[in-house]
């Protein structure tokens, strides 16, 4: 009887000690994993920046639509120092830039707008066709954001007066534009502005837009009478002149006025380095003619086991 | 009698194991929290600078610099904000101010939040905060050096494509 009690007690002690040790080990493992993930993240961010620096001289050779098309049709991949690296090159400016609607011009102490009237007209068309309840209010909100003064064109159109953390001046990126949508929705209760595929229509990288990567959605707004079958196959080839596009002459003219061309030197280079548990993607917006990096943005992804992407 | 002695020894052993484990776990937890804070500081500064398009470095005094960056990285969902790193007060608080508009040194030096900008304390007891400029104007690395009152030192390099300007006065504009 006594032997059995001792044995039982010994087993209980062993179980308790192993439970405690395993809890301790799991805490230690978690700490080591966090440290190792952070190290991987930093290494990946550095690797992406270094790799871009090495690629820059080759990127400067992209000087026409055919070369950009050839490069952008592929995703390059390699493995270096335990990282699986993928990189791709795409045109960066595939949509219209709403900032071109505003260009300040002063005369006799008064400021006039000498912005692109065709872009303004297209934006209004898009808003009307999508059933936006108050397109003028939305347009005024955009213009009041883009001009740098704090004078309202109408009631509640100068967002920076209501939201002190709202950046006034040119619309900086899609997040900035979506803040204007939110203010419009809050002011009117009209959510129809969200039904417009803005991400496929707008671009903030350049004043010019590349027709070779323009979305079908955007082109449908510009050339309404073009047959669906023609529109679906519009990107089957790379255009080296706007004259080659199968649109009517007045639509081609409209493309020119909107700032479209067959090549823009602003490209989007994406480099993704994937380590054991962490992958970091870095997007570079690079102007090959000015040889200048316009923007760098990192994003981190956790890799699930058994999934390298 | 022997069984009871063994049981008592085991009991003492278990008590010791629990005690050591408790101390070990608390040490790991402390180390992990400290390391998370430090990693978060490095990650934030790294991303602010690497995603920056324009950088100004101003000398506050012999031991501390002010760093101003126009960056894509935002804590507070401000598109393309102006970010300032500014050591404040006697306890060496390193403040990160994020704003939608450019601020003057006078506006940020209290490390207080206002309607138009956000302030976060990202490190404390900083005794030394210095930044060295890149070697090339096109692409280079900023070298950041922080030391704390407890003797802890952090030195790390951040690659940047930003245009970097250095001021030798207390100005960030």
pLDDT of residue B32: 83
Do B38 and A41 meet the contact criterion of CB atoms below 8 Å apart?
A: no
Mind listing the pLDDT tens digit for each residue in B37-91? 899 999 999 999 999 999 999 888 888 899 999 999 999 999 999 999 988 887 8
**Binary contact (A168, B100; C-beta < 8 A):** yes
Nearest of B159, B133, B134, B132 to residue B146 by alpha carbon: B132
Can you read off the two tokens belonging to residue B107?
Answer: 């506006």
pLDDT of residue A309: 41
Which residues on chain B are in Cβ contact (under 8 Å) with A295?
51, 53, 72
Can you read off the two tokens belonging to residue A97?
Answer: 């830039």
**Binary contact (A16, B14; C-beta < 8 A):** yes
Sheet holding A278-287, edge to edge: A75-80, A83-91, A266-274, A278-287, A292-302
Mind listing the pLDDT tens digit for each residue in B92-132? 899 999 999 898 878 877 788 888 889 999 999 999 999 98
Q: Residues 6 or more apart from A26 whose CB is under 8 A from it?
A: none
A164 touches chain B (CB under 8 A): yes
Cα(A116)–Cα(A262) distance, integer angstroms: 19
Which residues on chain A are in Cβ contact (under 8 Å) with B13?
13, 17
Cα(A21)–Cα(A176) distance, integer angstroms: 51
Residue of A nearest to B1 (CA): A2
Q: What is the secondary structure of A42-102 as a DSSP string?
A: HHHHHHHHHHHHHHHHHHTT--SHHHHHHHHT-EEEEEETTEEEEEEEEES--SB-GGGG-
Distance from CA of B61 to the nearest CA of A (A): 30
Mind listing the pLDDT tens digit for each residue in A137-165? 999 999 999 998 888 898 889 999 999 88
Per-residue confidence at B172, pLDDT binned at 50, 70, 90?
A: low
Integer-rounded Cα Rg, in Å, for chain A is 27
Mind listing the pLDDT tens digit for each residue in A102-131? 988 877 667 778 889 999 999 999 999 999
Mean pLDDT (chain A) is 90
CB A155: neighbour CB atoms within 10 A? 9
Number of CB pairs, chain A paired with chain B, less than 8 A apart: 108
A206: phi > 0 → left, psi -120 to 50 → alpha, else beta; which? beta
First to last CA, chain A: 60
What value does the mean pLDDT take over residues A283-309? 86
A133 touches chain B (CB under 8 A): no
pLDDT of residue B88: 85
pLDDT of residue A46: 93
Q: In angstroms, how far is CA A160 from the centroid of its own chain?
A: 24
- Choose the mutation target among A10, A167, A281, A295 for the interface with B, i.e. most B CBs under 10 Å: A167
Mind listing the pLDDT tens digit for each residue in A194-225? 999 999 999 999 989 999 999 999 999 999 88
Can you read off the two tokens belonging to residue B29?
Answer: 């937890």
pTM value surpassing 0.90: no
Per-residue confidence at A22, pLDDT binned at 50, 70, 90?
A: confident
What value does the mean pLDDT take over residues A45-69? 92
């Amino acid at each position: 009887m006594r032997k059995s009690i001792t044995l039982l007690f010994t087993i209980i002690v062993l179980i308790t000690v192993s439970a405690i040790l395993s809890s301790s080990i799991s805490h230690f493992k978690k700490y080591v994993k966090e440290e190792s993930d952070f190290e991987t993240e930093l290494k990946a961010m550095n690797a992406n920046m270094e790799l871009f620096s090495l690629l820059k001289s080759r990127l400067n050779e992209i000087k026409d639509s055919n070369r950009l098309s050839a490069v952008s049709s592929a995703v390059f991949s390699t493995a270096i120092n335990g990282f699986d690296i993928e990189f791709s090159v795409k045109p960066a400016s595939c949509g219209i830039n709403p900032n071109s609607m505003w260009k300040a011009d002063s005369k006799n102490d008064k400021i006039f707008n000498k912005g692109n009237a065709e872009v303004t007209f297209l934006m209004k068309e898009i808003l009307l066709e999508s059933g936006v309840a108050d397109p003028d209010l939305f347009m005024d909100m955009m213009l009041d954001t883009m001009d740098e003064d704090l004078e309202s064109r109408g009631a509640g159109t100068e967002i920076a007066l209501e939201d002190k953390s709202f950046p006034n001046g040119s619309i900086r990126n899609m997040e900035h534009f979506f803040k204007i949508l939110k203010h419009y929705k809050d002011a009117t209760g009209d959510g129809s502005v969200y039904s417009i595929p803005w991400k496929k229509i707008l671009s903030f990288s350049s004043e010019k837009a590349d027709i070779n990567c323009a979305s079908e959605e955007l082109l449908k707004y510009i050339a309404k009478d073009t047959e669906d079958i023609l529109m679906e196959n519009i990107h089957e080839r790379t255009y080296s002149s706007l004259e080659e596009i199968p649109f009517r002459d007045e639509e081609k003219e409209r493309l020119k006025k909107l700032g479209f061309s067959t090549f823009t030197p602003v490209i989007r280079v994406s480099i993704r380095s994937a380590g054991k548990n962490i992958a970091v993607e870095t997007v570079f917006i690079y102007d090959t003619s000015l040889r200048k990096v316009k923007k760098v943005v990192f994003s981190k992804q956790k890799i699930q086991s058994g999934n390298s992407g | 009698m022997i069984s009871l002695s063994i049981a008592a020894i085991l009991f003492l052993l278990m008590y010791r194991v629990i005690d050591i484990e408790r101390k070990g776990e608390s040490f790991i937890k402390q180390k992990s929290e400290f390391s998370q804070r430090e990693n978060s500081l490095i990650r934030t500064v790294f991303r602010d600078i690497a995603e920056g398009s324009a950088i100004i470095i101003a000398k506050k005094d012999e031991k501390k610099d002010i760093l101003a960056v126009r960056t894509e990285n935002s804590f507070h969902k401000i598109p393309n904000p102006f970010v300032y790193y500014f050591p404040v007060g006697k306890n060496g608080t390193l403040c990160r101010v994020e704003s939608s508009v450019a601020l003057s040194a006078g506006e940020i030096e209290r490390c207080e939040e206002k309607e138009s900008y956000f302030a976060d304390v990202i490190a404390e007891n900083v005794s030394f905060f210095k930044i060295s400029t890149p070697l090339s104007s096109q692409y280079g690395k900023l070298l950041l050096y922080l030391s704390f009152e407890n003797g802890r030192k952090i030195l790390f390099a951040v690659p940047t494509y930003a245009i970097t300007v250095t001021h030798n006065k207390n100005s960030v504009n």
